[in-house]
Structure 1
Amino acid sequence: MRDRRLPDDTTLSTLLWATCLVLAALLWPWSIAQAEAVGESDKISIGVTADNAPYSFLEGRALSGYSADILREISFNSGLEFEFRAGSWPELYEAFVRGELDAIDAISYRGYLSDKVLFTDPYHIRQTYMMEDSGRPTGPIESIDDLKAVRLGVVESMFYLPYLEDQDVDMVTYDSIPSMVRALAFGWVDVIIGPRLSLEYHADTAGFYFLNVTGAVPFNQRSLEDLRIGVQKDQPELFETIQTALKKIPESRKVELLRRWQEFGGAQVGDRPAMQLNDREQRFLQELGPIRVGIVQDYAPFSFREGGRLQGFSVDVINRLAEMTGLQIIPVSGQWSDLLNMFREGRIDILANMSLDQERLSFTQFTDPYYIIPNVAFTRDGGVSMTNITDLKGYDVAITGGIFYEKDLKNALGDAVKVFTSQEAMFQALEHDRVDVVLSSLPNGNYWVRQLNIPGVRIAGEVNFEDQTGEDLRFGIQTSLDPLAEILNKAMASISTTEMRSIENRWLGASMDINTPGPSNLNLSTEEQAWLEAREYTLPYCVDHDWMPLEGIDSAGNHTGLSAEALRMFSERTQIRFKLVRTKSWQETLEAAQERECDLLPLAMKTPERSRYLSFTDPYVQVPNIVLGRIETPFIEGLGDLRNRKIGVVKGYAFAELLKYRYPSLKLVEVENESVGLKLLQENELAGYITTLPTASYHMQDQGLADLKVIGRIPADWSLSVATRNDEAILLSIMQKVVSSLSPEERRNLESYWRDVRIEQSVDYTVLWQVLAIALIGASLLVYWNRKLDRLNRELAVANDTLARLSVTDDLTQLGNRSYFDREFRKSFQWCQRNETGLAVAMVDADHFKAINDTYGHEAGDHCLIALADVMRRNFRRETDRLSRFGGEEFVIFTSYHHPEEVIERLDRFREAVADSATVYSGKTIHLTISIGLATGVPDPSDTPAEFLRLADQALYQAKQNGRNRLEARAVKE
């Protein structure tokens, strides 16, 4: 038998200690793990793709995206703390397989992985969609065979690529969705495919609002991709926690998160903070007064003039900022180069669509960018790729004058850079092969290619300058207007995402149509119709009785002028009867509006003072603002030239109020009406008189004021709206709809109404003969005494005239010299500008003149130039013809015209006469031909003489390129 004695105390103690040691050894790792788990607060490492926007991507150091939002919802529902590890999908997946990650995001279910991975339910089913350019629709794509007929763009390594390859679909692969979206925007492919959320997000981020998702790809089930969270197989508790938390997320919440990324780039709807201005900024705005904003008039769709008014994306943004801050805006429209010069000279306060560069920082405060657009190279040369300045070498490149990369481009390409004053002119040059490449922002370029219907234009690539991707659109502000830049930044930051997206979609979306054909439909609401019915469709209104041809009251007491024509049009489409309330002056009209004696003013400009009692529709007429002076008064560059001098303006006129803010040094004299102001100017009681171009033209013709002239232009036009009483908001709504219903053609007709006004004067011949008889009697008494003095004056005048003529006459040809040209060209330009008359500028150059000098000698060349001048004089003898020798063998002819065909015919006759004649020198017969470049157009107030001369020079260059002895004509405005 075995001994069953109990162990003694020593043995028991030994056994007890041994057991404790074994248990401690067994439990030690578990205790350490538990301690670490507690210390780490249940942190779960999860791999999230860093380059999968908008599902997941790094924004600075923070993880953003739809998937990241879902993971944060799971964390909130479960109490788990995720430790995000961002990286590429291959890197993350390998780390997950090695057990270095507890979970991985955005994994699709695969049966062969089910023994290694626990898959949650899908939190998103990703359908593959097609996207196309709305300007280049491909037609319906309903089968895989339809895809074979288009250029298809795909991202490399996508799960559906093997299927497409098996179906023999011709594909162009790209390394990322952003690259593929750009390829579609630039026209390199017809259709691209990918997840809808990703396609729309990257298209919107890049500003390609003309790209549209058109439908799901015709792949059946192969087009679906499920996004799940994968958990390590050996962590079922963690899997259950995540799965349970995922199920707690309501479907409505998932839809909301998805919509935020699909429509608003991840921002909360209405998530922008209210604008908070400090005391200094508030005082600054209160004391600021109206500001002048320069807006480019041919920069569609960002800013452009259509139907007589400025509109576009940038215009809407600055108007919204004005509403938020209380700024009073005076728009100043023109070409970019002119506006930039005006800004540098301090004649405008803010310049829209201005990109930041180092040179401009010396005279400009910049806001943050409100939009960034890519600059691309448009060309008709197939097969070339252009992404930097080096790629442009060997090509003639067109740019807009004053663009932020002009200096860098000229330094690199020299004379190959061709500078234009307008976008339209650049693309016309591309159309006629005068340049090889046009650099422009993508939306502007696409607009002009469509407008001009230029065939064969393609985008060679996005061109970046000094690592600057795209053109940053900002507001440039005068440095003296501190702290306006920060105020506008705060206002921009406060515009809600929804509102900004609405503005973007209006002007940059696929549905934008700038040229609306015909009048818009006028749909008044039931409430608006009831309001009109209660007033029996009758509205009292007041006008300025002496503001012709814009508006006035005739001798019979009837309303006449442009505003009468506008009300007639308004009445036709609304059945409203407008009832005139007669007043005796404009000031009385404003008082009647304050007293609510009239419901509206058909033609008024918005000012801070008037906004107290009136509301204003969008402007529907723009008229130039000018300064008149006596005939001997020199021309002025700006109103600053008239500081401390008396300047007249009608009392109550909009610019009387605005000028008090902007030019406190002017001694403004408020007059009763236009007639009184012009009389005071004639009598030298005023140094200048501010009015509009149409009213000045009307009164000067009507009253025969030959001793007055236009001496300057104010850098702001009258933007005229319908003004309604501000205690009837529904009336403003009605009239805004009426104004908006005007078609571009109707707006142009209203503008031409004042341009085409002609004065018919009647003469009382009885009174005339009486005046002449008295004058003859008086004159006969003075004849004898004046004869001797008159003879001396004539001799002195002849001497002075001779001296003056010699100072502006070319010694060789006896035509005008360069001084004559400089003096007369500007005068002719301004005359045509004031009188809305065509101006023709012809550059004339003798062909192969160097060869004549080299062959026959310089004296022979001089004889040829003298003969050429004689032929020129014989062919251009009209009163308005001006001839000058510009230098060497180059001449300039400028004249006014009614029909451009007439000028072309005269120049062609002149060219043929030169070719048919011959010069005989030293017994040798020399034949000469000439090339002519012609620029024609009716100068607008925004045009410059240099623009005409530059266009004529370009046409001359084209004439020489096309074989010489020919005429090339260009229109400044089509």
Structure 2
Amino acid sequence: MKIIILFMMFFSSVIAQINIEKNESFSDIEKEYIKTNTVTIGMIEDYYPFAFKNNGKPNGYSYDYLNLIIKKSGLKIDIKMDTWSNILKKFKNKELNLIDTISYKKDRESFTNFTEPYFQIANVIFARKGEFLDYENFESLKGMKIGITKDIYYYDTVKDLNLFELVTYKNSKENMKALAFGDVDAAFNNHMSGQRYVSEAGYTNIKILDELNSNTIKKEDLRIGVEKENDILYSIINKSIKLISRKELEKLNNKWFSTRIIPDNQVNDIGLTKEEKKYLDEKEFINMCIDPHWMPFEKLDEKGNHIGITADYYKVLSKMINQNIRVIKTTSWNQSIEYAKSRKCDILSLAMQTPERKQYMDFTTPYLKIPIVIATKLDVPFIDNIASLKNKSVGIPKGYAFVELLKKKYKNINIIEVDDIKDGLKKVNQGELYGYIGTLASISYQFQNGLGTALKITGKFDEKWELAIAVRNDDKILFNILEKLVEKMDVLEHQRILSNWISIKYEKEINYTIIIYLLVAVFVIALLFLYRQYSLKKSNRDLKIAVEKKTKDLQALNESLESRIKEEVEKNLDIQEKLFKSEKMASMGEMIGNIAHQWRQPLSMISMGATGMQLQKSHGLLSDEFFEQTCIDINENAQYLSKTIDDFRNFILGDRTKVVFTLSNEINRFLSLVKGSITNNNINMIVNIEKELELFGYPNELLQCVINIFNNSRDILLEREIKNKYIFITSYTENNNIIIKIKDNARGINKDILPKVFDLYFTTKHQSKGTGIGLHMTYNLIVKGMNGSIEVHNAKYTYENNEYSGAEFVIKIPKET
């Protein structure tokens, strides 16, 4: 909801700019072609992860890439999915305008215009485990039956080597199946689709033997092919590809290839002995138990899939040794420990070494070292000494190794064992526990998923949770293999996995220079708020008495007393000025509360950024890019705080000097001042202001009018408990006048009171909430101060296919007032 409110105008402008760029990229002939033609493209139906069918519908990396081209060009494209042989045949016969995932070959130039490659894939040799143990190169496969996909781009190259007996199959799936069942001795296939079908079919007897020599067979370059004679379409496709941004490509790559692919032949770089290689060839699965409720480290999702940090680690480790690691499902960490004792699982994914566990498990070198922190309620001060928790009740999950260590080191802390992290944080929130002890990453994850809205991280322990792979102590070969894997884990891979999952939300000891400034600012705001409360009540009471008295006096004035009339008019103008200041004071108090709320998030972001850099530095993960980006984020948030103060100051100090001002700037200033109220009350602001509209008048008074109308709309939306709250602000030019319309969806104003809304002291609110001054003042500022007009009526309208009704204020101001 916050994102919609804060960035609606930004998104609209970006989308408009994109459309402008897209239209300007194509010639008139190309635009006409796009408008009048539907083109067809052939895509492979079983080429995971690039093109495949999911529930009968196209899916995959290439399908998403094609949709980006459609988005950039506006082309209408009909997708035809079939085997590679069939779509290549149809493309040659001009039954298709485009073909996807085609690789460049010289003999294809006669019927194809090729785009640049959008992806390149290594081709590898698949073989059965336990075979080709002395493999060195292609010569080792001489005379063997080799499976290969029909019409693959490198078929002729392999055939010309005259080394193998080639057996063709219609697709990768059939190729892998033939290898698994012994119909061929080895199979040539691209790495990704081959691995997918091996995993999908559960072929545990297949391994990757080697990568095809890139000097002999180039990597598979995926391109889009365009029919040879269609130069217009070829130009449109190439221009569309150039319009795809780097960020869009990064998003696409992250979606389909979030885990870095490690070729399985790297197993030879790990340094395994022959005995260890034989062990892996003969072992069907490595059975692993996990903690099913410990995110972001790990859990079993609703479908029973292993997700989290350790899931990413074990995907990498599994590929490094080309071995299936199977998760044994348990309902709790305690049950996983019991399964390890009874040998139902070979390893524990992430465990801390203790004397008791050493009786049945061996532990590798720790591959994660995570800070231990304590989470408490928001009103608990920063804890810089764990000894201050003396006699306090703190929670930690049952079976965790840290329970044993904490009880020994901090005997005065009352350790309460809870079911899991959610149970522990819930009990802290309900006041049953003073705090919850856990890892920084797991607590931060729960906070970000809404579990800790009333909690915070208050302090940290000197100790770190050193987590390793726990291996059953009766299997020394498996332990040696896993120890080598941990030692060989790529540093960049380690950093990528942690960066994907760990975000920091840690309240560390605060820089006192910053806190002094913040305290002074909060103190000043508090004084202004208290003064506003006092002066508002006094001013309203005095003004009401004064206005009533002057109104009676004016009615009794003699027509001949011209001088007295002039004097009374001047006095009434003075009263109107006081009324304006009174209403401005009321708005100021409300905005102070809004600003205080607005500062929370940027202050939190500054704190999170600083502590995030510290944590990554302590792990040796702090990169220059992350450091520079975090500094930029801290500076942007500081600039935002400064801008908020400037907007508030300009509103308070503004005078009644006529100036030329831009309407959009004042509306943006209004949005900044009421941002806290918008966010707190979940109001959707839909703003559509015509650019560069200029007025000559009083910007602060117009701003006050908009705030008054907004406050009335907000109050009635809350009073009537409207579920989806909307306030719309639009502007445009009409007959040398600037029109501003403000409407809501609060179901409108009662017809009986509609004519009275601008009357002085007329209000339908309780006396504690309304004075009846705001809309009356708005009317005078528009009509008398700006020579304009304002009216209100009930309107019915449609937004996003939903019918709404509400009050609509229409302000008309001459361009030169």
More helix by share: 2
How does the TM-score come out when normalised to structure 1? 0.29
The structure having more radius of gyration, on CA atoms, is 1
Give the TM-score, by structure 2 length.
0.34
